[in-house]
Structure 1
Amino acid sequence: MLAVEDPATGQRITDVPDCGPAEVDKAVRAAAAASPAWRATDRRAALMSCAVVVEEAAPVLAPVLTEEQGKPLREAEAEFAGAAARFRYFAGVRPGSRVAGDGPVAALTPWNFPVQLAVAMLAPAFAAGNTVVLKPSPRTPLTTLHLGRMLAEVLPPGVLTVLTGQDPLGELLIAHPGIRQVAFTGSAETGKRMAATPEWRQLALELGGNDPAIVLPGTDPAAIAERLFWSAFANCGQIGVAVERIYAVGPVYDGVVEALAAVATEVVVGDGRTPGTQIGPVNNRPRHDRVTGLTDEARASGARIVTGGPLDGPGYFFAPAILAEAHDGMRVVTEEQFGPVLPVVRCSTVDEAVGLANATAPGLCGSVWGLDEEHAAEVAARLVCGTVRVNEHRADEPFAGSRWSASRAGLRA
């Protein structure tokens, strides 16, 4: 069995099945057997039924999501609402012949948005006529397992199976010869390893990011501080499309640092089940230790921790940290932190800021902030990212990545 942990306490919640080769083979065979009839079915009613299931599950399962992931309850509830809306959207999509289903899909999801990212794979796969074997992260398997059982009640047998477990479960699933397509959201390192597996037929990846935000001269830091802060620290900074580094140009630098720190000091960090909590714990001990290590390393290299850092007590709590005098030689800048720490880099010119923003391998999202939106848009056009916005960063979907942050390819059988 696989233990599920509460990040707010560090204590075990319960256990879920730790599946292995026999369970993988059974699930894939069931998905393959269900595939022809599912492709021939009018699936719109089934997707609408899935939307209803997600909505009705929210009052019961949102607290479970908060317990195993750590996010505040209101964010967990919003995740369910977004997932239901996604099922409804794809219920209205009529896929053309080029995207018709072609056998079972292996869907591997991360721990930061277990419900939202699972449905982001399930809804289009179902709409296209695919059956799915879904493997959630071993950090957050509980909500997905419960939801999967509820969805299976409104779907034909074999259309959806949820397998929980730790490594090498994912490798076993994607290497199974019955799997025709793979959808994965996670780190670039894992994505590279997956791309070396010759058995895959078709591959879609959403990999890590290290999103830059450029603040132009003349910007009023107080006017953008709240939006910029939450673009970095929502879900405790554990979002692939979060702002992870800021390049502040010229005299605006000190004001940006001060304004962000002012917001950070007022934010309520605590158990996601406690009313009023705005930021919950980091999801797991390895992530907490990584964020702490990157912060300590940056301080040793000359960065100044204006506010924030690890908190005492049980659980994996870390107050949002603003790092001043960060520079591109620090790993906290050049690597994805995926946690509640934000380095602010001082730049002399816009050209310098653009060059530094483009210097890392990921290319998920980026943003430019400034009073003159036309000029900001010109600067934004120079960023090498899949999605770039002006005076906002995390907005409504869709978004796309580039370079190491996204890939879609057909691989040899």
Structure 2
Amino acid sequence: MKTANLAIVFTDIKGFTERTSRQTLEENQRLLQVHGALLSPLFKAFGGRIVKSIGDAFLVTFESPTQAVLSGIAIQDRLWHHNRTMEEAEQIHVRVAINVGEVRLDGNDIFGEPVNIAARVEGIAEAGEVYFTEAVYLAMNKAEVPSKEVGAYELKGIPGKIRVFHVPRAPYRVEAPAASAIAEAPGAESVPPFGNLALARVAAEASSQSQPVDLSGLGQRAAAGATVLGQQAAVLGRQARTVGGSLFSRAMVALPEPVAKNRVALGAGAVLLLVGILALSFSGDSTLRAISAVERAPEDERAALAKDVRAVILREEDSGRRHFLLGRLTEATGKPDEALKSYALAVKAGSADAEKRVVDLFEHARCDVRSDAASTAGKLQLKRAVRALERLKSDGGPDDGSRTGLFGLSKCDSKVAAESALKSFKDR
């Protein structure tokens, strides 16, 4: 098994479970969409790879411990800016915990004691803070990141005590923690908690790659555009109601800094125009992303996650879309053969996505899945599947001939299944 020395970052939202128990499903979805829109770009800006996103929690890896800590600092400052514009009940406060060490790589997932330690440190971290272990402190560039020791902790399941550090609040001189000259400003709530130390790097990089934005006359032009697009914007606004909070937050993340600073001056017309643009740009399928999260989750957690996602899918009015999504969810829980039943129902309801997925399963690693997919395509008379069936009939798969059935008395052969499906086309 492959291994790598990586910095591991865990984040989660303070009081998420209690909060979601008081909210509707739509409100929970909106919260997670805003949360993801705020954090994900910052992970990527500092070179992070998102391994998992389960509910309110992110697991992210970085090759550089310094960049990992800087991403945490940027996140806390970004959330500070976001929360200033929100009612208290709508604010988002997260904990950030970081460790570094050699982890095992298994597909897109990671395992090992360094991951467990990071998770334990997250359990003691405070909301709005960036906590990290001594291993991170020793490996990071102390000239870039100020730090201060919190204490030594006994963590459940971890032998010995682990020294834990955090990033002190701004303003500060960049020094090692032992210097004790790091000062925390009185009234620090009037400025970002970490003085935009890391967030400024993201803004500077973005502005260096774009031309200055001329805002003169923008209000008038936007108002004129809004007059023309008013009806369309209203329709898009109604369609985007469940993700309305997310759209504005994503806008503030995505807009060049000069535009963000002058957002008040844009006027009502610009706001309408912006809503229309954002509804088109950021309306991605959150249900498919939730299904992907189920697939990436540990096996013992998939059933509970899948139950919540299934409840959302069952509210889909389009039957073809509903059965297609149920099939994808069934696949995510490790049952591709059972998913084919849902795909068949989706195809009968007119789902082109389901047709494509049935054909895609001709290339599955398991012989029984390939065979069942071929049989399903034959029964449904999927004309688009003919060429793929011919390839399957010719090439088969690496496990063709494997034993199946009770006591292994039968053999699986996807070539034979493909041939049989092709005959069904000729017979009709």
TM-score (structure 2 length as normaliser): 0.22
Q: Which has the higher contact order (CA 8 A, sep 6+)?
A: 1
Higher helix share goes to which structure? 2
Answer 1 or 2: which has greater strand percent.
1
Greater C-alpha Rg: 2
